[in-house]
Amino acid sequence: MNPSDFDLALDQALQLRASGLDLEACLARFPQHAQALRPLLETADLASSGLAAAMPLPTPDLAPGRARLMAAARGGRRSAPAPAWRWAAAAIVAISLVLATGAVATRALPGDLLYPVKRALEDAQLTMAPDPDARATLRAELNTRRQNEVETLGTLGREAVVAFEGRVEDSTRSALVVDGIRIEGIHSAEVGERVSVRVRVTATGVILEELIRIEPPRPTASPEPTVPPVTRRPTTSALPAATRTAQPATGTAVPTREPSATPIPAAERTTETPAAMDPTAAPARPSATLDQPTTLPRPTEPPTPTPGGRRP
Amino acid sequence: MTRAHPMSTDEAALLRRLRANDLAAVAELHDRYAPAVFAYVYRRVGEQHLAEDLTADVFLKALEALRRGRFAHSALMAWLYRLAHNRVVDHYRKQRPQVTLPDDHPATDDVQAATQERALHRSVRGALNRLTDDQQQVIALRFGEGKTAAETARLLQKTEEAVWALQHRSLAALRRLLEGR
């Protein structure tokens, strides 16, 4: 904006008046604008008198206002609407918490508070596996994890029930070794057979067989099993030898000592043994009646248990 | 062309702290600017307690605006003047129609002089309140606060030349109002 000569003259005249110059002397400085300047300078005097006449300023009491302001500021710190970055930060914290919980959960053992979280994460991993090969690889990993849990529980002397799968490496009348883990109990599995087992780890570190199922040989051509697996309850040495003998793979349940035991329907016998035998499995699963460890009695006469996990 | 100065480093730092809900910064804002805001408001309303209340309102409004990210000025004091002006205008809007009424009470010379002075204050404030926002502010800052055209330009976020033209129009409008036209 280009100021007019008059605007400039008015401002200069106002400055002169503010410095104390008399009105007439001031107007005499601007003879060409004097007539137009006079009413404006008089109005400026009125404005100065009218507004500045409230002078001298009283000493204000600003403390109550300050207190109101600070109270509002403190209140706002609690209730101010969160800006976007704050929501983002909260989301990051929440995600971190979930990841941290997951990370902690991966170290959880059966009986721990976070163990169900660990298993849920594993289930999610299996569900999200891109193809059957990846799922099989992951399943093998998870099985190894179960075996490691058994060993850790045995080392710590913590009681828990765990199911896993493995190959029988050694077999005696009262114990067998599955993937290096010594399991006490009467059984009929033979070396080289693949078995699914559910074991109870005792406070003394002994691993007792609760349930064992001999898996059919894995077919090489077809992924579908042709021979149904056989599930057998553990028996004790107190029972007649005949009852402790493994039954042929007829697909019917093996009689056990406990009268309340439920026979395994043929349709429920699958090769998904670790999951089916899993003590942490959901009750809705078909084999749930068998998988409740609380329904199974412990062997009354464990045959000379040996603490520890895998054989050296 | 003279443009308003950018915000000082000091003010920028204070503003950052205010936006971060720093309580100490809120206290500093009040302690630093409340006296000036009070003076501005007091000259506009002429009553101490009212000016104190309105000043407190100005700072509460400022806090609310800061929280909502509505600070768009380049200088805190200019912004506070604007808020103060708005609060005064709002006050007078609610107070109508009691402005510019002459005092008709008979009185002694001293009392009469004081009464006339109060009447002048009311007349000026009443006429001022009928100006546009920019005109009110330029009159209040130039002749109430005694700011120079350059200082007024900075506080109003305008060029100095714009203030020269504005004060011309403002004084002309104020005169017409005071003359009852």
Q: What angle do CA B152, B153, B155 make, to 5 degrees?
A: 65
Highest-scoring range by mean pLDDT, A77-86, B23-32, B149-158: B23-32
Is the model's pLDDT at A275 over the cut of 60?
no
Q: Which of B42, B164, B178, B181 to mutate to test the interface with A (most CBs of A within 10 A)?
A: B164
pLDDT for the residue numbered A32 = 92
β-partners of residue A162 are A199
Which residues in chain A (40-79) have CB-CB distances under 8 A to chain B? 40, 42-44, 46-55, 57-58, 60-62, 64-66, 68-70, 72-74, 76-77
Is the model's pLDDT at B151 over the cut of 70?
yes
pLDDT for the residue numbered A24 = 92
pLDDT-based confidence at residue A13 (cuts at 50, 70, 90): very high
Tokens in use for B18?
A: 């205010």
What residue type is assigned to position A214 of the chain?
I
Q: In sequence order, which residues have a C-beta less than 8 Å from that of residue A153 and are 6 or more positions away?
A: A109, A110, A159, A160, A162, A201
Q: What are phi and psi of A200, to 5 degrees?
A: -115, 125
H helices present in chain A, as ranges: 5-18, 23-29, 34-52, 63-79, 84-105, 115-128, 132-156, 241-244, 273-277, 288-291
pLDDT-based confidence at residue A247 (cuts at 50, 70, 90): very low
The pairs formed by B174-181 with CB atoms below 8 angstroms and a separation of 24 or more are B174/A43, B174/A46, B174/A47, B174/B124, B174/B127, B174/B128, B174/B131, B174/B135, B174/B139, B175/A39, B175/A40, B175/A42, B175/A43, B177/B127, B177/B130, B177/B131, B178/A43, B178/A46, B178/B123, B178/B124, B178/B127
Residues of chain A positioned with their CB less than 8 A from the CB of B21: 73, 76-77, 80
Mean pLDDT on A22-33: 92
> Given the structure tokens 């007829």, which residue do they identify?
A250
Tokens in use for B92?
A: 């007078």
CB A70 within 8 A of CB B23: yes
Is the model's pLDDT at A149 over the cut of 80?
yes
- Give the side-chain half-sphere CA count within 13 A for A197: 31
What residue type is assigned to position B132 of the chain?
T
Round to whole Å and give the CA distance between A31 and A54: 34
Is the model's pLDDT at A46 over the cut of 60?
yes
Mean pLDDT on A147-155: 89
CB B145 within 8 A of CB B43: yes
Is the model's pLDDT at A197 over the cut of 80?
yes
pLDDT for the residue numbered A258 = 38
Q: Which of A2, A59, A69 to mutate to test the interface with B (most CBs of B within 10 A)?
A: A69
Average pLDDT, chain B: 82
pLDDT in tens, B85-107: 999 888 888 765 544 444 444 44
Cβ pair B120:A46 closer than 8 A = yes
Q: Is A109 left (phi over 0), alpha (psi -120 to 50) or beta?
A: beta
Is the model's pLDDT at A5 over the cut of 80?
yes
The residue among A235 and B137 whose pLDDT is bigger is B137
> Given the structure tokens 């056989």, which residue do they identify?
A230
Is the model's pLDDT at A235 over the cut of 50?
no
CA distance B7 to chain A (A): 23
Domain range summary for chain A, segments of one domain joined by +: 1-40, 159-295
Round to whole Å and give the CA distance between B175 and B130: 12
Cβ pair B168:A69 closer than 8 A = no
pLDDT for the residue numbered A65 = 92
Round to whole Å and give the CA distance between A90 and A69: 28
The minimal CB distance from A69 to the residues B26, B67, B68 is found for: B26
Parallel, antiparallel, or unpaired: how do β-strands A175-178 and A194-201 relate?
A: unpaired
The residue among B41 and A107 whose pLDDT is bigger is B41
pLDDT for the residue numbered B109 = 65
Interface check for B119 against chain A (CB to CB < 8 A): the answer is no
CB B114 within 8 A of CB B67: no
For residue A59, give the chain B residue with the closest CA. B48
Number of H helices and E strands in chain B, helices first, is: 8, 0
CB A286 within 8 A of CB A280: no
The residue among A45 and B6 whose pLDDT is bigger is A45
Name all domains of chain B by residue range, CATH numbers in brackets: 1-95 (1.10.1740.10)
pLDDT for the residue numbered A233 = 53
Tokens in use for A201?
A: 């780890």
Q: Which of B171, B177, B179 to mutate to test the interface with A (most CBs of A within 10 A)?
A: B171
Residues of chain A positioned with their CB less than 8 A from the CB of B66: none
The minimal CB distance from B164 to the residues A10, A52, A70 is found for: A10
pLDDT-based confidence at residue B5 (cuts at 50, 70, 90): low
pLDDT-based confidence at residue A229 (cuts at 50, 70, 90): low
Tokens in use for B179?
A: 């003359």
The residue among A260 and A219 whose pLDDT is bigger is A219
Element (H, E) at A230: strand A230-232
The residue among B24 and A250 whose pLDDT is bigger is B24
Round to whole Å and give the CA distance between A84 and A86: 5
Lowest mean pLDDT, pick from A107-111, A231-235, B50-54 = A231-235
DSSP structure class, residue A233: -
3-state secondary structure of A137: helix
Mean pLDDT on B18-28: 89
Task: For domain A159-295, give the CATH superfamily.
Answer: Copper binding periplasmic protein CusF (2.40.50.320)
C-alpha B40: how far from its chain's center? 5
Lowest mean pLDDT, pick from A18-32, A97-111, B130-144, B152-166 = A97-111
